Structure 1
Amino acid sequence: MWIVAIGWMYVVTLMAATEPSVVGGMMTFLGYGVLPLSLVLYLGGVRLRRRPRAAPRSEPGAAPDDADPPGH
């Protein structure tokens, strides 16, 4: 997924560089690059952020990570 993001930002950077004005280039870079890519990467990472939380629930006999060992 990272290679696609890097490739997309490369294309958007070249698109922004060919705009006739600096403001147009910045709007192209933000509108086609940064904002959509941040949304896609955030939504794509939701599954990865949920995985560690779901791991202790998957094993019924597993102790929570913050529990102290017996005798301490």
Structure 2
Amino acid sequence: MYLIVVGWIYVALMMAVAEANHPDGTVLGAVVTFVLYGVGPVALLMYLMGRPARRAARLRREAQASVAPDAGGEPPADPVPPVREEP
């Protein structure tokens, strides 16, 4: 999958270079071309293709949390110590 991403970024970069070097082209046009044809679609593709990995990681974290919630075996300590009263 990364080979496709690298290839797409290369093609978008070459389009941006051609835009910047054209007599009627501008650097701003080259940047917009690179962002809209290169970075935008690649970011969307990577986000969508990474969904299964993110879901698996979330399920692993949930399974780990349900098996050993405190990972120590002891009950949690009282966060506020009791007030000591003098007799």
TM > 0.5:
yes
Alignment partners' CA distance in 2, 1:12 and 1:5: 11
Does structure 1 residue 68 correspond to structure 2 residue 71?
A: yes
Query: Higher helix fraction: Structure 1 or Structure 2?
Result: 1
Which residue of structure 2 lines up, in the alignment, with residue 5 of structure 1? Answer: 5
SS in 1 for 2:67: coil
Q: Distance in 2 between matches of 1:24 and 1:70?
A: 61
Gaps of 5+ in 2: 20-24, 76-87
Return the letter of the residue paired with 1:23: L
Q: Structure 2: how far apart are the matches of 1:52 and 1:8?
A: 28
Please, what TM-score do these two structures have when normalized by structure 2? 0.65
Out of 44, 47, 54, the position equivalent to 2:59 is 54
Deviation at 1:69, TM superposition (A): 3.7
Q: Output the TM-score relative to the length of structure 1.
A: 0.76
Identity %: 34
RMSD: 2.1
Number of corresponding residues? 67
Written as runs of structure 1 = structure 2, the 5 A alignment for 1:3-42 is 3-19=3-19, 20-42=25-47
